[in-house]
C-alpha cells in the first residue's frame, strides 16, 4: 500500500502528523510519544518524507499510509522480535497497524529499548 501524497515541503514531524489522514493522527502521535519516552535524546527529523529518529545511528521510523500506520524496525532488532511481531509483520522490518487498532505499546517499547541498546553498543 502506498503512502498518501505528501507535500515535499514538510520539514517537521508535527507538520507530517497534521498532513496525515485524520484516522492516522492519534496513532502517529502515540508512536511519537513512545519514541520520545524511550529515547528523549533522539533527534527528530524527516527522512524519506516520513518521521525519523536518530540516536547514535538509525533508531526509528514510522509513517501513515492509506489504511494503516507503518512502524519500521532496524536490522538485528527486527530479527530478535520476529516471532512476537509476526501478527503485524508485512516485511522483514515493517509492522502495519490498521487505523483504529490498538498499538502494542509494551512490545513496541521493548523493541525500541533493544534498538537503543544496540545503537549504544555499536
- pLDDT (0 to 100) of residue 47: 94
pLDDT (mean) for 49-68: 95
- Within a domain: residue 48? yes
Q: Which spans in the chain are helix H?
A: 13-19, 25-38, 75-80, 82-85, 105-120
Residue position matching grid coordinates 547514535: 56
Domains identified in the chain, total number? 1
pLDDT (mean) for 1-20: 78
- Within a domain: residue 31? yes
- Type and span of the H or E element at 66: none
- List C-alpha distances in Å: 121 to 3, 20, 55, 56, 66: 33, 35, 12, 9, 36
Residue 76 has pLDDT above 70, yes or no: yes
- Within a domain: residue 121? no
Residue 6 binned pLDDT confidence (cut-offs 50, 70, 90): low
- Within a domain: residue 20? yes
- Within a domain: residue 100? yes
Residue 75 binned pLDDT confidence (cut-offs 50, 70, 90): confident
- pLDDT (0 to 100) of residue 24: 97
- Within a domain: residue 96? yes
- Within a domain: residue 73? yes
- Per residue in 16-27, pLDDT (tens digit) is 999 999 999 999
Residue 48 lies in domain: 13-113
- Within a domain: residue 24? yes
Query: Model pTM?
Result: 0.91
What is the Cα–Cα distance from 56 to 42, expressed in whole angstroms? 8
CATH number at residue 54: 3.90.1150.200
- Its sign, for the CA torsion 84, 87, 88, 94, is positive
Q: Which spans in 5-80 are helix H?
A: 13-19, 25-38, 75-80
Residue 5 binned pLDDT confidence (cut-offs 50, 70, 90): very low
Amino acid at each position: 500500500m502506498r503512502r498518501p501524497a505528501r507535500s515535499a515541503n514538510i520539514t517537521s514531524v508535527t507538520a507530517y502528523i497534521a498532513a496525515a489522514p485524520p484516522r492516522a493522527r492519534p496513532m502517529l502521535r502515540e508512536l511519537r510519544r513512545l519514541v520520545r519516552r524511550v529515547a528523549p535524546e533522539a533527534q527528530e527529523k524527516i527522512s524519506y518524507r516520513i518521521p525519523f529518529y536518530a540516536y547514535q545511528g538509525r533508531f526509528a521510523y514510522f509513517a501513515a499510509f492509506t489504511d494503516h500506520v507503518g512502524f519500521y524496525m532496524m536490522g538485528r532488532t527486527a530479527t530478535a522480535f520476529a516471532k512476537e511481531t509476526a501478527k503485524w509483520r508485512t516485511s522483514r522490518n515493517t509492522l502495519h497497524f490498521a487505523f483504529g487498532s490498538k498499538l502494542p505499546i509494551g512490545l513496541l517499547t521493548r523493541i525500541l529499548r533493544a534498538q537503543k541498546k544496540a545503537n549504544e553498543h555499536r
